[in-house]
Structures are given as structure tokens and as C-alpha cells.
Amino acid sequence: MSALPRKQAAQLKTLVGIKRQKAEQEMWLLQQDVRRIEQEIVQIGENLKALDQTGDDFDGSSLARRHGAVERMIAELGARKAALAARMQDLEAAREALKRVMHSQDRIGDL
């Protein structure tokens, strides 16, 4: 492979640097989204556990079940788990994209 002129090599380094920055930002945003969804799943689970505990507030639990609150929470929990799985796939794709950009940056450094 022939060596690139300095100007082209510098431009290429700049472009790859910008791509790396974009890939890092995208990955950070996806990580934040994954954390948010995980927290929502925990919160829904805690709410379900609170409804499941029988005791003094049996009437409240009974009313919640009768009016579908439990079913809605279970459906929401399933939806959040599906969203988490999709975001995890997006995060894995972003990791791979970042790896490719970093590899390109290393290769350009060899020029």
C-alpha cells in the first residue's frame, strides 16, 4: 500500500476521530437508556411485591386486582423487558461500531 500524502492522512485522521467521537456518544446514550429501563423494571417489580404482600391492606390489594392494576403492571413489566432486550442489542451493535472505528484509527496511525 502506498503512503498517503500528509494532507490526506491528516484529513483522514480527523474524519475517523469525528466518527469515533460520534460512536462513543451513541454508546453512552444507549448505556444511559439501558440503565433507565433497568431502574424502571426494578421499580415495577417493587410495586408488584408491595401489592402482593397481604395484611392490613387486603382491601386495597383486592381493589387493585379487581380493577386491573396488577395486569397493567405485569404488561408494563413485559414491555420494559422487551425494550431492554432491544436496547441491549443496540448497545452491542454500538460497541462493535466503536471497535471498528478504533481499529481504523489504529490503522491510520500506522500511515
Q: Which long-range contacts (CB under 8 A, 24 or more apart) does 31-35 make?
A: 31/91, 33/87, 34/84, 34/87, 34/88, 34/91
For residue 4, the model assigns a pLDDT of 74
For residue 80, the model assigns a pLDDT of 97
Average pLDDT over residues 33-43: 98
Q: Does 5 or 102 have the greater pLDDT score?
A: 102
Q: Which long-range contacts (CB under 8 A, 24 or more apart) does 63-67 make?
A: none
pTM above 0.85, yes or no: no
